[in-house]
Amino acid sequence: MHCPGKAHIMHCPGKAHITYCPGKAHTTYCPGKAHIMHCPGKAHTMHCPGKAHTMHCPGKAHIMHCPGKAHIMYCPGKAHIMYCPGKAHTTYCPGKAHIMHCPGKAHIMYCPGKAHTTYCPGKAHIMQNLIGRKIRV
């Protein structure tokens, strides 16, 4: 699916899928296997209550969610968040504000601001920023 303008939604109840949007925000939902989302534009959100997935964004902030094992997120742009089901924790990102709330498995909320909070009832996660430092919780 290609969307050079406004938001779009992609639904895949089975195998992997890819969504590309060089424009505004977009959302991808996949209750099945892994999927990949790429957005060189503005904010975006990826939601997947199933298996692991990968998200790449060379632009603004982005969020990666994995309700299973540890995962890594790399963002050469602004702030970013990495979520993994574990205990409650707070993460600091050198960028705009955003908040991520996950009551169990899936999460889905992106909001640019100044500070952000991440709530995860699961395992450990890793966060890497432009400077290259890693933060474990």
Judged by phi (left if over 0) then psi (alpha if -120 to 50, else beta), residue 27 lies in: beta
pLDDT at 8 over 50: yes
48 burial (CB, 10 Å; 0-12 / 13-18 / 19+) is buried
Q: What is the pLDDT of residue 135?
A: 36
**pTM of the model as a whole:** 0.33
Work out the pLDDT band at 25, boundaries 50, 70, 90. Answer: low
Question: pLDDT of 42-79, one tens digit each?
Answer: 555 555 555 545 555 544 444 444 444 334 444 444 44
